[in-house]
Amino acid sequence: MGEKTQGQKSKVVREFSSGGVVFKKTPKGLLFLLIKPAESSRWQLPKGHIEERESSSETAVREVREEGGVEARIVKKIGDIKYFFVLDGKDVLRDKKRIFKVVNHYLLEFVKDLGNVPNSVEVEEVKFVNFEEAYKSLTFKNEKEILKKAKAILEASAS
């Protein structure tokens, strides 16, 4: 089980998502937005699929609004994360798909809290935390690297 049978071809599907690092300037310093997806113990950056006729940057702004409950404006593109994962269908031998995913990440500046609970079907909790806590809280190594790049951009623009 889990092995390829003779003649079986692995299907590769490409997925494109967008999201970002939202920062907020406060008297105590910079804070960063993290989300905790529903029914999950992991903390991550807000992101989601790019919809038809929507640009990557428009998706980032929309996802931050939907998942984070905040309005934010794009400052700069940070970079992309690319990875493969396997999605199993009902018939494991026929429906196993390899997904090649590209996630565009942007640096976004907090504008205002929208006063609404983020999409509770998708997101259980939202928090703004300092860099150290954000870095420790993030589950995925590649998102930690995006956060570090965002901090470097902010530090370079402050000098």
Render pLDDT for 25-40 as a digit per residue (tens, 0 to 9): 999 999 999 999 988 8
The mean per-residue pLDDT over the stretch 75-82 comes to 96
Quick one: pLDDT at residue 119?
Answer: 65
Confidence class for position 106, pLDDT limits 50, 70, 90: very high
Buried b (16+ CB within 10 A) or exposed e, 99-127: eeeebbbbbbebeeeeeeebbeeebeebe
pLDDT at 97: 79
Look at residue 109 in the predicted model and tell me its pLDDT: 99
- pLDDT confidence of residue 87: 74
Residue 95: predicted pLDDT? 62
**Residue extents of the structural domains in the chain:** 11-158
The helix (H) or strand (E) run that includes residue 33 is strand 29-37
Q: Closest Cα partner for 146 from 59, 3, 22?
A: 22
At 3 the pLDDT is: 47
Helix (H, G, I), strand (E, B) or coil at 95: helix
Out of 3.90.79.10, 3.40.50.1970, 3.40.50.620, 3.30.70.2740, the CATH code matching 11-158 is: 3.90.79.10
